[in-house]
């Protein structure tokens, strides 16, 4: 494809990130996906690095799958170095890695609070900091941060909501700071509720039957999927989105306040 990009995806081995990695590779992009093989807080992602390598081999896709922690600056530098050595450049970064344990301030231990902030907010900071010089050197590029409606505040999500609120602010500030370097920074939010992902499954012990059935879903008549998210990410890293920066795109609906719309009664 003529618009093929070299893309690094954090948390790209599981859940929404995994679907974004596969979808972008299917479009002809050169993807480096990384994550941790061990299950994290509120996640069922154990063995995800190994299983993604097996899946892409079966699909015949060319994705570099690495194990690395977004909270470790040296590990992040290693991923960036790998992508540069393989492809000679970096065009885009997708900051997707996140953990999302539930809890109020009183329910959340200090150690867990620090880990949520480290993955969800420090991770995008470290990865953006490592990639930005290479985007600037190339004369431009794209950073896409995966946000959450919780970033505007949700019940029983104190630390997670705070971290995702920080992502909105970090995205906007970075978009301002590097506008004249032709760096586009945007945030994509899975909206409407009911999305089935590694995080949502992890919160309910991995049992899909416990996913909230009352969520309104989307205008498509179903919950948002990782493929829906990947379609928007693919657009934002493309040359067609060359003038779009500093935006929040809600894939679904009503991510801000959770939505006034209830699921339609089919009785």
- Point out the residues that are catalytic: 160
Residue 35 CB: number of other CB atoms within 10 A? 30
Q: Is 13 helix (H, G, I), strand (E, B) or coil?
A: coil
Report yes or no: 195 and 223 within 8 Å, Cβ to Cβ: yes
**Which residue in the block uniquely carries the two structure tokens 């590694």?**
198
Alpha-carbon distances of 45 from 16, 54, 112, 218, rounded to whole Å: 11, 15, 18, 26
**Cα(244)–Cα(255) distance, integer angstroms:** 20
Report yes or no: 216 and 253 within 8 Å, Cβ to Cβ: yes
């Amino acid at each position: 494809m003529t618009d093929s990009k070299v893309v690094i995806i954090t948390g790209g081995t599981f859940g929404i990130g995994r679907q974004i990695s596969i979808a972008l590779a299917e479009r002809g992009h050169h993807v480096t996906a990384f994550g941790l093989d061990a299950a994290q807080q509120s996640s069922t992602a154990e063995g995800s690095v190994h299983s993604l390598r097996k899946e892409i081999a079966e699909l015949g896709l060319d994705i570099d799958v690495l194990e690395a922690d977004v909270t470790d600056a040296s590990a992040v530098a290693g991923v960036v170095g790998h992508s540069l050595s393989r492809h000679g450049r970096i065009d885009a970064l997708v900051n997707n890695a996140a953990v999302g344990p539930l809890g109020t301030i009183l329910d959340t231990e200090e150690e867990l609070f620090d880990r949520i902030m480290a993955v969800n907010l420090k991770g995008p900071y470290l990865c953006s900091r490592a990639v930005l010089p290479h985007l600037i050197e190339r004369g431009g590029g794209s950073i896409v941060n995966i946000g959450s409606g919780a970033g505007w505040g949700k019940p029983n999500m104190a630390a997670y909501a705070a971290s995702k609120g920080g992502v909105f602010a970090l995205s906007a500030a970075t978009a301002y700071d590097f506008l004249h370097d032709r760096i586009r920074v945007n945030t994509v939010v899975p909206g409407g509720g009911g999305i089935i992902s590694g995080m949502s499954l992890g919160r309910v012990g991995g049992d899909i039957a416990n996913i909230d059935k009352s969520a309104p879903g989307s205008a498509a008549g179903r919950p948002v999927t990782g493929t829906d998210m990947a379609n928007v990410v693919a657009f934002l890293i493309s040359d067609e989105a060359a003038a779009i920066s500093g935006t929040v795109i809600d894939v679904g609906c009503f991510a801000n306040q959770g939505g006034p719309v209830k699921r339609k009664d089919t009785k």
